[in-house]
Amino acid sequence: MKKIAVLTSGGDAPGMNAAVRAVVRKAIFEGIEVAGIYNGYQGLIDGKIELLQLGSVGDIIQRGGTMLRSARSVDFRTPEGRDKAVEQLKAHGIEAIVVIGGDGSFQGAFELTKLGIPCVGVPATIDNDIKGTDFTIGFDTALNTVIDAIDKIRDTASSHERTFIVEVMGRDAGDLALWAGLAGGAETILIPEEKYDVPAIIERLKSGSGRGKKHSIIIVAEGVMPAVELADLLKREADIDTRISVLGHIQRGGSPSARDRVIASQFGARAVEVLKEGRGGVAVGLRNNGIVEYELKDVVEDKNEWKSEMYKLSIELSI
């Protein structure tokens, strides 16, 4: 393996830069040249490719976003687009790629591997929805951002004795909402993986206020419904007034937490080791505190398996 490339794709996540840095430095340490592909798969098709040096990734470990920029490419979803991508790689002498991103990015990595370009996936998404790894890069930072917001909202909720609905990202996954709800002491958490029942939510709010509880925080994952819809439901069904807060893209930004920087460094370095061994079609991750590898095929063909223990705990602790 003489020359590899690295790209970031899909929604950005804090810690992507730390992963890029690890890939570049580990590759150079191993005597492998490394190119940066800008703007994800679209940039690959368009030939936005540049050789990176040790200094190219200096002063980025602490920065959110991605220095390689990111995109969701429509062209790459077509066979013609992917053929152009392979042509670009051949023209630049690139033998393999480290793809940093979420499940859509892994799908692309899987397709490229099938076309003869070994790819290794590095899981990075605030959604934490990649089967095969306990944690994705960016989840921890986003979680802390959400908790910081919940703590602040609780201050004003308690001063005004109000019920707040906080809408959290995650696409169709509930990890961010659930972990944030548990860590932020939310009274109710709605996630796509678990059924919800509006009468039960109303009953819970009423029994809380019957016991003298003056304020309440409801966390709703965006994959369940928009906060504004839930607010309308509570008003219509039980005349409950709420305030809503949609955290939005704030959750994707900010300096990565120490944990995200560490796993990003570990994942990036392991990805290079896998490519150096001439292997592709796998992703790296963290399971039971150890760095692991798993097949890209299994990620793209299956959904993340849901474990309901944490949800049950959140219900028990928020009575």
Q: Which is nearer to ligand F6P, 148 or 273 (CB)?
A: 148
From the DSSP assignment, how many helices (H) and strands (E) are in the chain? 11, 11
**Integer Cα distance of 239 and 316 in angstroms:** 26
Out of 127, 140, 187, 260, which residue is the one contacting ligand F6P (CB under 6 A)?
127
Which residue of the set 12, 127, 129, 140 is catalytic?
127
Which range touches ligand F6P (CB under 6 A), out of 17-25, 116-124, 164-172, 183-191?
Answer: 164-172
Q: Which is nearer to ligand F6P, 126 or 220 (CB)?
A: 126
**Integer Cα distance of 117 and 113 in angstroms:** 5
In the chain, helix, strand, coil percent, each to 5? 45, 20, 35
Out of 102, 132, 192, 256, which residue is the one contacting ligand F6P (CB under 6 A)?
102
**Cβ of residue 306: shortest distance to ligand F6P, in angstroms?**
17
Known catalytic membership, residue 127: yes
Range list of H helices, 30-137: 40-46, 79-91, 103-114
**Contact between 125 and ligand F6P per CB under 6 A:** yes
Q: Which is nearer to ligand F6P, 172 or 295 (CB)?
A: 172
Which positions from 169 through 188 interact with ligand F6P, judged by CB under 6 A? 169-171
Out of 26, 252, 261, 270, which residue is the one contacting ligand F6P (CB under 6 A)?
252
**Contact between 226 and ligand F6P per CB under 6 A:** no
What is the binding site for ligand F6P (CB under 6 A)? 11, 102, 125-127, 169-171, 222, 252
